[in-house]
Structure 1
Amino acid sequence: MIVKSADDKSKRIGLLTDLQKSPMLDARQRDWLRDELMRLKRGIQGERDAAFYIDSHFKDSENNAVLHDLRISVEGEVAQIDHLIINRMMKFYLLETKCFNGNVQINDRGEFTVSYSGERTFGVESPLEQSRRHERILSKLLEKLEITGRMGMKAEFFHAVLLHPKSIITRPEKMKFDTDDVFKADQIGSWYQSHSDRTIGVVSAFAGLLNVHSPQTTKEWAEKLARQHRPTDPLDLPDFMKPKDFPVSKRVGIHRAAVVPAAVDAPARIQSSAPPEELRKKLVCITCRQKITFSEGKFCWGNEARFGGFQYCREHQAPFK
C-alpha cells in the first residue's frame, strides 16, 4: 500500500528558474543557482523513477506500507528519507536513491566514486552511511510515537541504495565489501525477495511470527509517520543569496522625490500612488520601477500589512518602517 507520495517541488523549480533571470546576480550566485537547479531536477527524476519501480512492486501489497520523500525532525536533527518500506514484522527498509547514470565505482572500503563520459571523476558521500544516520533519527521518532511491536519488541532496520537503471556499477570483491544492497532501481522486487531469504533465518522467522501485525496496524504506523513529515520551505535560500545593500547612486532612476513621506500610513500611501494591479507579485519596485531580487519581494509579500501586498526595493522599503 502507498501511504505517502513525493512532495510537489514545482514551486522550488519555479523560484530557482525565475531567480536566474535577475540581472543583479554575482558570479557565485549564478553558479549556485545553476548547480542547485541541476541537482534538484536530477534528484526529482531519480526519486520519481525509483518510486515507479517501488510502487509497481508494493502498491497492491497489504503486508507492506510505502512512504516516499519523508522528511522528519527529532530534537533538532533532520532525516530526509527518499523511500521507506514498513512490513508487518516491524522491519523498516530505508531506501536511498542516487541518480547516477554514469559509472559508479565502489572500493573495498565502501567508498563511492562517480564518473561520466567526458567528465572528471569525483568522490561522493556514501549513501549507505547516509541512510544509517537516518536510521538513528527514525529510531528516536518511533520511540517518541510509541511505535513498538508486541512485548516491546523494537523495529529492525535495513538499508539499500537504488541507482539509475542505466548506470554502470563496478564492485569490489564481496569478501572485502558486500555491495548486495546497492543495485539498480528496476531490481527492487528481486532484491527484496533475496534480501528476505538472506536475512530471515529460522530463529529470526520464529521471532518475526511472534511480532507479526495486521495490515491495518502497519498502515496506522505509516500514517503516524506521514503526519510527522516536515517539508522544506520551497522559498528558502542560503544567506549569500539574499540581496546586498547598494548605495543609492547605483540604483538607476531612483529619485528621492518619488518616495512617499513616512508620516502617512502604508495603506494610504499605496492607495494614493495607485500602483497597477498587474505589477503585484512582480520582481519590480512599485516606486522606482527597477528590478528587485526575489528576497526583497518575498520580504514585502510576507509583510502585507506594511506594504499592502506590493513590493519595493530596499531603498524604498525604508519609508514604511
Structure 2
Amino acid sequence: MIVKELEAQQHSDPLRRAGHDAERQMAHYLKRAFGEDSGIHVLNDLRLQRGEEIAQIDHLVIHRCGVILIESKSVTAQIGINERGEWARYWKGQARGMPSPILQARRQGQLLHALLNDHTEQLLGKIFLGKLQKGFGTMHVDVLVAISDSGVIRGGKHVPAEVLKADQVPERVRELVQYYARANSVFSLNFKDSGYEATPAEVMGIASFLRARHTPAEAASAPAAPPTPAPRAQAASAVPASVRTSQERQAQARPQPEVACRACGSANLSVQYGKYGYYLKCADCGGNTPAKPVCAACGQPARLSKSGAEFTATCPGGHRWAYWTNPA
C-alpha cells in the first residue's frame, strides 16, 4: 500500500535532478511490488523532524515487525566499496570519495526510532489484560541502499548485503518481512529476532502518524507567501485557457488527501482557522495538526481558501484542487 507518493519536483541542478530520477525509479518498483499489498505500507520522500534534528528518508517501508529505510543513489557510471567500508564514485577512471549512504540511512533510522518511542502510548496498544504497554524497543530498523539501474557496483566480496540494484530491492524487502514473520511465529526458536510485532491497525496508525508529520523542506523554511504580484498572474494566464481548465477539472476530481492527526493518527478531522492560519482539528483527541497542502503536480506548498465547508488549495504554479470538506 502506498501511503505517500513521491512528490513531483523540478530541479535545474543536474545532480539534484539525477537524484530525484533515482528516487522516482525506486518509487516505481515499490509501487509495482507493494501497491496492492495491505500488509506493507510505503512512504516516499518523507521528511521528519524531532527537536532540532531532521531526517530526510527517500523511501520507508513499514511492516508488522519493523521498518526498512531505503536510500536511493543515482549512479551513472560506477561506485566502489573497499574492505574498510569506504565509498567512492568512478568517473573516467578517477575515483572520488563519498559519504557512506548506509551510515546515513542508519542515522535517519535512529531518529525515526526515537520519534516513534516519543509517541509509544499513542501508537501501540497494551497486552496482558491491558496492563502492560507495548513498546518500540525491539522494533527492527533495517536499511537498504538502492543503486540506480544504470550504475555498476565494484567491490566484490566487500560490497555489503545492504547495497543492491534498485530492481532487486523489492525482493529483498519481501525476504526481510518473511524472515521476521517466521521469527515471531509460535514455533520459532529465533529469540534474537523476535519480540516486536504490531497489529495491522497499529501498522496503519504508525503510517498515518508519519504521513501527518511530514514537512516539505520548502514549507518548513519559507516564510508565508505574500500576495501574488500582478506580473506573475499575467505569466500564469499565458497558459492556454483550455489547458488550465483541463488541469483544474483533473485537480477537482482528486480524492481528499490522506491526512491524519499527528497525535493519535485519527482521520476524524476538520479544518479550522487560528492565530497561525489554517490547521486540522482532531475530534477524537482534540489535537492540532498543521494544514500544509503540497501540489502533486509541481511540488510547491499551496495556500488554502474557504467556501462554506469546502477548502481549496492553490499553489504558486496555478494548480488548484479540492483539499478538504468539513463534516456537517
Same fold (TM over 0.5): yes
TM-score, reference length from structure 2? 0.58
Q: Deviations over 1:22-62 (max 9, x none)?
A: xxxxxxxxxxxxxxx11221111010000001111111111
- Name the structure with the higher helix share: 1
1:229 has 2:210 as partner: no
Q: Measure the CA separation in 2 of the matches of 1:53 and 1:85.
A: 13
Question: How far has the Cα of 1:145 moved from its partner?
Answer: 2.3
Aligned partner of 1:8 in structure 2 is 8
1:135 has 2:120 as partner: no
TM-score, reference length from structure 1? 0.59
> What's the secondary structure of 2:218's corresponding residue?
coil
Q: Measure the CA separation in 2 of the matches of 1:71 and 1:214.
A: 25
Moved over 3 A (4+): 147-151, 193-208, 210-214, 234-237, 276-282
* Amino acid of the structure 2 residue aligned with 1:123: G
Q: Deviations over 1:205-232 (max 9, x none)?
A: 7975x64444332111101011111111
RCO greater where, 1 or 2, for CA within 8 Å and sep 6 or more? 1
> What's the secondary structure of 2:106's corresponding residue?
helix
Question: How far has the Cα of 1:203 moved from its partner?
Answer: 3.6
Q: Measure the CA separation in 1 of the matches of 2:32 and 2:218.
A: 30
* Amino acid of the structure 1 residue aligned with 2:79: V
1:157 has 2:141 as partner: yes
Structure 1 stretch displaced more, 42-51 or 135-144: 135-144
1:47 has 2:47 as partner: no
Question: How far has the Cα of 1:104 moved from its partner?
Answer: 1.2
Q: Measure the CA separation in 1 of the matches of 2:59 and 2:230.
A: 43
Could you list the runs of 5+ residues in structure 2 that have no partner in the other structure? 127-132, 223-228, 236-328
* Amino acid of the structure 1 residue aligned with 2:94: R
Question: How far has the Cα of 1:102 moved from its partner?
Answer: 1.1
- Identity between Structure 1 and Structure 2 (%): 26
> What's the secondary structure of 1:62's corresponding residue?
coil
Question: How far has the Cα of 1:278 moved from its partner?
Answer: 4.0
> What's the secondary structure of 1:129's corresponding residue?
helix
Q: Measure the CA separation in 1 of the matches of 2:103 and 2:189.
A: 28
Report the number of matched residues.
214
- Name the structure with the higher strand share: 2
* Distance change (3 Å), C-alpha of 1:279 and 1:189: closer
Question: How far has the Cα of 1:192 moved from its partner?
Answer: 2.1
Question: How far has the Cα of 1:7 moved from its partner?
Answer: 2.2
Aligned partner of 2:79 in structure 1 is 104
Question: How far has the Cα of 1:195 moved from its partner?
Answer: 3.7
> What's the secondary structure of 1:79's corresponding residue?
strand
Question: How far has the Cα of 1:234 moved from its partner?
Answer: 7.2
Question: How far has the Cα of 1:144 moved from its partner?
Answer: 1.9
> What's the secondary structure of 2:17's corresponding residue?
helix
Quote the RMSD (CA, aligned, Å).
2.9
Aligned partner of 1:169 in structure 2 is 153
Q: Which has the larger radius of gyration?
A: 1
Q: Deviations over 1:140-171 (max 9, x none)?
A: 21012224475524221001100011211112
Aligned partner of 2:96 in structure 1 is 122
Residues 1-321 of structure 1 mapped to structure 2, 5 A cutoff: 1-10=1-10, 13=11, 17=12, 37-89=13-65, 91-116=66-91, 118=92, 120-146=94-120, 147-148=123-124, 151-154=133-136, 155-173=139-157, 177=158, 179-196=160-177, 201=183, 202-204=188-190, 208=194, 211-233=196-218, 277-278=230-231
Q: Deviations over 1:68-116 (max 9, x none)?
A: 0000111100110000001022x11011000112111111111111113
